[in-house]
Structure 1
Amino acid sequence: MKKIAILAVLLVSSIGMAQKVKVKSGDYKFLAGQKEVNVEFSYENLKLMKEELTEDQYVAERTADLNEKAKGNGDTWAKKWEASKELAWQPKFTELVNIVLTKKKKDLTFQEGLKSAKYTLIVDVVWMYPGYNVVMAKKGAKVTTVLRFVETANRSNVLLELTSENAPGDVFGGSFSNEDRIREGFAKTGKTLAALILKNVK
């Protein structure tokens, strides 16, 4: 019974920290009949941790910390962090959007580099918490983004702007990699966006 009670508490806690997506402005109407959407990612406004460190501050502090524990490890990590954007986080977002839409037979594709697409989704990554996984405890990552759909030829024309707060990121079975947990936060964001499109675009 104690185990069941603990699981119940954990479940309620995870629901309480669930992702929140709100429409800040606009609507989904412009997506009706569209076949493709260009996707771009921005980290210019990114803050990390509860202290809201800039990305430069976070990378510098973690690099120094890891180098102190084992010379060179921090520098290796810093390269992995930067590479994760293009090799893991961004592809995972578009992959999950497209998987969900395809399963429901929605003929709409999200992809980076589609410069000819009428509309562009700018994923502005504004806050991240990498979580942790140590011997006795673990906590998933959180990813907060602003999802801004604009006219590709006129970026000042914003058709829809959404705020996605605290998208949870965790790896089944756990992962000791901050970057892997963050990747799953991007996956959750993509999955949720696709579900909203299916709900609002007929």
Structure 2
Amino acid sequence: MKKIKLSLLFVAGIGLNSMAQKIRTESGDLSFLKGQTELNIQYDFSDFQVGGFSSEAEYKNKKIKEYNEKEAGRGDTWEKSWERDKKERFPNKFEELFDKGLTGKIHAAQNNEKATYTLIVKTTFIEPGFNIGVMRRSAAVAFEYIFVESGDESKVLAKLKQPDVPGSQFGGYDYDTGARVSESYAKGAKMLAAYMLKNIK
């Protein structure tokens, strides 16, 4: 009986997790992308929560202080890595899987001057997770996808939301925070590409 209950909980957990990841349209639709072959991408990390902290700044201050107390300068090195991940690692991972998922039908990239429309990938929440060998928690990221006219962000054509996209590496060897979180960007990108191809009519 105990095994059956655990199995049911496991299945329920998968179902809830899948529902949480589901992309939903908040406004507009994607019909404007019909016939488009280029798409510009921007990333917005201006305002998001991290884990149980009310803001990214609160999270960063705590981590910097903790690491510097353990080893002088370690917290400052961590901060540089965190900022570099937002600027390079997370966007690069997203674009790699997004462009691949669009199967050549639309070329999507940052600074794409050929594109009539721009996708703003806005991060609203990051759960960094942890992996200490005997215990681990997967990362997770919540996204808003905002489609605007290139050169005029006030002209919003569609807005989508995707909460709780999990991130972890195969085999559980994701000891690095950036590695875990970047997998959330990869998964979000793949799901968004599939959603777009299905809904561009």
Written as runs of structure 1 = structure 2, the 5 A alignment for 1:31-70 is 31-52=33-54, 54-70=55-71
- Could you tell me how far 1:151 is from its partner in structure 2? 0.5
Q: TM-score, normalised by structure 1?
A: 0.90
Distance 1:2 1:67, change over 3 A: farther
Correspondence for 1:86:
87
Distance 1:173 1:200, change over 3 A: same
Q: Secondary structure at the match of 2:105?
A: coil
Correspondence for 2:76:
75
Correspondence for 1:142:
140
Written as runs of structure 1 = structure 2, the 5 A alignment for 1:145-184 is 145-174=143-172, 175-184=174-183
In structure 1, C-alpha distance between the alignment counterparts of 2:52 and 2:193, rounded to whole Å? 29
Correspondence for 2:120:
122
Alpha-carbon RMSD: 2.0
In structure 2, C-alpha distance between the alignment counterparts of 1:180 and 1:7, rounded to whole Å? 30
Q: TM-score, normalised by structure 2?
A: 0.90
Residues 33-92 of structure 1: CA deviation (Å, up to 9, x unaligned): 00111000011111111333x222111111111222222221111111010122210011
In structure 2, C-alpha distance between the alignment counterparts of 1:159 and 1:68, rounded to whole Å? 48
Task: Give the aligned residue type for 1:167.
Answer: V
Unaligned 5+ residue runs, structure 2? Answer: none
In structure 2, C-alpha distance between the alignment counterparts of 1:200 and 1:17, rounded to whole Å? 22
Q: Secondary structure at the match of 1:44?
A: coil
